[in-house]
Amino acid sequence: MTQETEVPNQISPEMERTASLRAKYRAEVARWDLNIAVFLFAVLILVIILTTYTKIGIEIGAPMAIFGLAMVWLTGWRRGKQLYQRFYDEEILKLERELKRAVKENVKEAVDETIEEKVQKALRERWR
C-alpha cells in the first residue's frame, strides 16, 4: 500500500481539555524551582539584615520585603505560564501521535481483515 492514509488533525474538545489539565498540573508542580526559592531566601535574608543590624527602620524594610515577595510571585507566575504553554504543546503533540497511531492501527486491521476475507473466499471457491 503506497498511499498514505489521511489522519484527521482534529482533536476533540475533550482531548484538548485533558491536555490542558495535564499541562496545568505539570506547570504547577514545576513552577517553584530552586532558583525562585534561592531568590526568595536572599530577599528575606537581606530584609532581616537591614532591619535588625542596621539603623533602617521597618518603614523601609517592610516595603522592601513586599517588593521582594511580589517579584518572587511574579517570577513564579511567569515561569508557570511559560511551562504551561510548553507542556500544553507537548500534550497536544502526544495526543496527535496517539490519534495517528490509532488510525494507522485501525487501517492496518481493516486491511488485514480484507486480505484474510479474500483468502478465505478463494479457499472456499477452490474447495467447491
Q: For residues 82 and 75, what is the distance between their CA atoms, to the nearest angstrom?
A: 11
Question: Strands (DSSP E) along 1-115, which ranges?
Answer: none
* Residue 2 within a domain: no
* Residue 54 covered by a domain: yes
User: pLDDT at residue 7 above 70?
Assistant: no
Classify residue 20: in a domain, yes or no: yes
User: Is residue 125 a part of any domain in this protein?
Assistant: no
CA distances to 45, 48, 50, 63 from 53, in Å:
11, 8, 6, 17
Tens digit of each residue's pLDDT (9 = 90 or more) over 28-77 = 777 777 777 777 788 788 778 877 787 777 777 778 778 878 887 888 78
Q: Could you give the CA distance from residue 67 to residue 40 in angstroms, rounded to a whole number?
A: 11
Q: Which residues, 6+ apart, have CB-to-CB distance to 33 below 8 Å?
A: 79
Is 127 contained in some domain? no
Task: Output the pTM of the full model.
Answer: 0.54
Any domain includes 23:
yes
20: containing domain? 13-98
